[in-house]
Structure 1
Amino acid sequence: MDARYTRTDFHDGISRYGASLIEACAPLAEVTMVISDEAQLALLPGGVPWVRAADPTSPAEPFIARQLNRHRPDVVFSPMQTMGSAGREYGLILTLHDLIYYRHRTPPADLPAPVRLLWRAFHLAYWPQRLVLDRADAVATVSHTSRRLMRRHRLTSREIRIIGNAPQAVPAPRDPEARPERSLVYMGSFMDYKNVETLIRGLAGLPGYRLHLLSRISAAREAELRQVAADARVPAEALVFHRGTTDEEYVRLLRSATALVTLSRSEGYGLPVAEAMAQGTPVVVSDLEIFREIGGPDGGAARFVPL
């Protein structure tokens, strides 16, 4: 199991997805984790054997199979599609979570500059993705929505299996009779397609509410969003930037909030939405096909906002 996308501070979506799959698979099979930094072990299941290999953003990635072959794996599962495969002597399963970057081509800012350049070029056409995915023996994705889009664009001739995201186990949902705080929770990145600006502007119509923005954020991006709030006459104290949070604090905020909110223009899954519903927290989301898949088409578990 390729665990090299695991973070060393706190989980993001890919990091939690990979760690959760390892935890689920370890009791069922002989699992070995592939890491690139021993600090990743802090956020991975304990007691699972591991080996070390090159970082997935390093120039050695196309030839990572040379490092893995010596361990004689039967199958390697990667939670991403970019794992190198040249010269592999094992079965390979790659994962494509979504097709977001074909519509929103700006790559994540935390990637090295050469990787960002390749990322943008890679998503200018569909054929590079076809070449990448057809290197595998099978392909995984996280939702019916993503699988339908992959088939529409003929991204692979391989079998596509759904291995969905899932929230962490919850002993019991919050008390539905308890009065919530006048607060909203946003968990996710601050890339343009996430449409966080609209959430902030919406606070102008919700006096007394606070919007908790939980993920890490650069100082420059935070300044941009604070300016959006100022232009919309939203009080500065209505925005609470956590700049990263613990799982415990995340759960506490979910269980006390009025709702989790996201008005993203594109999503591959939307794990925070499922996490909020598991806690019994209402969700208000943009009217996307994937959110209908998660929240139910009749709106029973979510309230949908047209974009």
Structure 2
Amino acid sequence: MSSFLAPMRPFYTLDISRLLSRAKALVPTGIDRVELEYARYLLREAPERLEFAAMHPLGRFSAVPFAAAAEFIVSIGAFWDRGTSTETAVSRLAARLQSRILMPKLARRDARQPAASQARVYLHVSHHHLVRPAVIETAIKRRPGTLFVPMVHDLIPLEYPEYSRPREPARHKRRIDTVLRYADAILTPSRAVRASLERYVDLTDRESLPVWSVPHGVHLKAFESEVSAAEMRGEATERPYFIYLSTIEARKNHLLLLNIWRRLIETHGDTAPRLIIIGKRGWENEQVLDMLERCPSLQGYVQEHNALSDTEVVRLLRGARALLFPSFTEGFGLPLAEALALGTPVLCSDIPVFREIGGDVARYIDPLDGLTWMRQIEALSKKTVEKARSSVSTAPSLVVDWPNSVGMALDHIESFAAQSHPGR
């Protein structure tokens, strides 16, 4: 963790528009988790150098009351992590914050001000409203000298438009154009995304624009102690199962696994392992949903869960023979890092970002090589949980917890701010 509380470190404006827009979500997406963990870290480590801001659905952008924002962040974190808050409470807090955005006089009255010698950083770690460059410009220009540091999570809609909604490639191009026009520095979650983004930077006149690669953190490891030895023994006595933890969409390659499972059931009958799919239903997934809902042979062998708590996900991950991750493309791959941190074996696609995360610990398979996937699944099915987990003795070096992940990002930002504002 960085030495974060030194005098005259930058004053941060953290954009929490994404969290407010997701207040009614039962479980977080990966980007939701990123924004939440940055908010938690800054609240804990530097509350005196922090304000929160957000954009209202009607288009107004402003700071929001600090105490109310802090209460909202604690509440939505508790709801997503452990279910100790309620959806109603979270939604009520979000509505209160959004109503204040529409009251500019109150927003100005509540605004927090940095010291005259402090640099300002507008930190934006989601893609929310990057399609509206005028909002970003306003957020920066209303406070001269502010450094704009956004995070680009991936360039998938531009590199693989076939996996996106029809309008998404054009929208994502607008996001990237906004970033390249206004950013003073950029965060990415992997070297693979940084390399992709730098190709776009090279097409501009901003070749010196810093792009920092900082791996996302793992939060699930914090719940590891909640799984008792008795629960582990209970999982071990059940029929072997595997987990795919991901939104159901075309690029995630669920169809490969469902066809493999149909063959496993034909081959092994009642002794075939189970497949547990955890994640909400996304888009471009009609064939997958047809198989889940209409394929008789998969019933009883393939389970779908759209809104499990983190604690339940951890319990299932620790009892699984492996996490399966046959995705065609990713910006990072949080489930891979989370599984390895928990000591769960991983079978994943042989793509650069997964090798970056999994190192020598994960097992890599071509996402089109169904026969190898099936053989590896069959081999792991024959092992006990303990034997399967013995191959994951240590998590790769890129697997870090969230405090260290955010700390690394802020180290980059603060070194850059000191160079950009040497008199502050």
Instruction: Please classify the TM superposition score into its range, dividing by the shorter chain length.
Output: 0.7 to 0.9
Displacement of 1:229 in angstroms is: 5.7
Displacement of 1:295 in angstroms is: 0.4
The amino acid that maps onto 1:301 is V
For residues 195 and 219 of structure 1, the distance between their equivalents in structure 2, rounded to whole angstroms, comes to 12
Structure 2 residue matching 1:86: 3-state secondary structure: helix
What's 1:3 paired with? 16
For residues 163 and 52 of structure 2, the distance between their equivalents in structure 1, rounded to whole angstroms, comes to 27
For residues 238 and 257 of structure 1, the distance between their equivalents in structure 2, rounded to whole angstroms, comes to 14
What's 1:274 paired with? 337
The amino acid that maps onto 1:142 is P
Structure 1 residue matching 2:323: 3-state secondary structure: strand
Structure 2 residue matching 1:200: 3-state secondary structure: helix
TM-score by length of 1: 0.77
- Percent of counterpart pairs with the same letter? 24
Q: 1:219 to 1:128 in 2, by over 3 A?
A: closer
Q: 1:107 to 1:230 in 2, by over 3 A?
A: closer
**Structure 2 unaligned spans of 5+:** 1-13, 57-68, 80-93, 115-119, 266-271, 368-424
Q: 1:152 to 1:232 in 2, by over 3 A?
A: farther
The more displaced of 37-46 and 279-288 is: 37-46
The amino acid that maps onto 1:287 is D
Structure 1 residue matching 2:347: 3-state secondary structure: strand
Displacement of 1:70 in angstroms is: 5.5
- Indicate conservation of the 8 Å contact 1:199/1:262, yes or no: no
Count of residue correspondences: 282
Structure 2 residue matching 1:211: 3-state secondary structure: strand
Structure 2 residue matching 1:80: 3-state secondary structure: coil
Pairwise CA RMSD of aligned residues?
A: 3.8
Tell me which stretches of 4 or more aligned residues in structure 1 moved more than 6 Å.
36-39, 106-109, 230-233
Larger radius of gyration: 2
Matched, 1:288 2:351: yes
Instruction: Pick one of 51, 56, 71 that aligns with 1:32.
Output: 51
For residues 211 and 72 of structure 1, the distance between their equivalents in structure 2, rounded to whole angstroms, comes to 52
For residues 350 and 163 of structure 2, the distance between their equivalents in structure 1, rounded to whole angstroms, comes to 24
**Structure 1 unaligned spans of 5+:** 55-59, 110-115
Q: 1:268 to 1:128 in 2, by over 3 A?
A: closer
For residues 35 and 254 of structure 1, the distance between their equivalents in structure 2, rounded to whole angstroms, comes to 35
Displacement of 1:233 in angstroms is: 7.2
Q: 1:161 to 1:53 in 2, by over 3 A?
A: farther
Matched, 1:160 2:196: no
TM-score by length of 2: 0.57
Displacement of 1:40 in angstroms is: 5.5
Matches within 5 A, 1:17-166: 17-29=34-46, 30-34=49-53, 41=73, 42-44=75-77, 52=97, 71-72=112-113, 74-81=120-127, 82-83=129-130, 84-87=135-138, 88=140, 89=143, 90-105=146-161, 117=167, 119-123=168-172, 129-154=176-201, 157=206, 158-166=209-217
Q: Greater helix share, 1 or 2?
A: 2
Displacement of 1:22 in angstroms is: 2.1
Matches within 5 A, 1:213-292: 213-217=277-281, 221=285, 224-228=287-291, 234-292=297-355
Q: 1:52 to 1:250 in 2, by over 3 A?
A: same
Displacement of 1:44 in angstroms is: 3.8
- Indicate conservation of the 8 Å contact 1:36/1:52, yes or no: no
For residues 195 and 97 of structure 1, the distance between their equivalents in structure 2, rounded to whole angstroms, comes to 20
- Indicate conservation of the 8 Å contact 1:77/1:92, yes or no: yes
The more displaced of 267-276 and 238-247 is: 238-247
For residues 318 and 111 of structure 2, the distance between their equivalents in structure 1, rounded to whole angstroms, comes to 47
The amino acid that maps onto 1:5 is R
For residues 72 and 189 of structure 1, the distance between their equivalents in structure 2, rounded to whole angstroms, comes to 40
State the Cα deviation string for residues 118-175 of structure 1 (Å, max 9, x = none).
Answer: x33234xx68724433312211111111111111333673211223211116255888
Displacement of 1:226 in angstroms is: 4.7
The amino acid that maps onto 1:187 is L
Q: 1:98 to 1:128 in 2, by over 3 A?
A: closer
The structure whose RCO (Cα within 8 Å, separation 6+) is larger is 2
For residues 128 and 4 of structure 1, the distance between their equivalents in structure 2, rounded to whole angstroms, comes to 15
Structure 2 residue matching 1:134: 3-state secondary structure: helix
The amino acid that maps onto 1:191 is E
- Indicate conservation of the 8 Å contact 2:323/2:345, yes or no: yes
- Indicate conservation of the 8 Å contact 1:186/1:214, yes or no: yes
State the Cα deviation string for residues 241-261 of structure 1 (Å, max 9, x = none).
Answer: 112111111101101111111
Displacement of 1:35 in angstroms is: 5.2
What's 2:364 paired with? 304
Structure 2 residue matching 1:240: 3-state secondary structure: strand
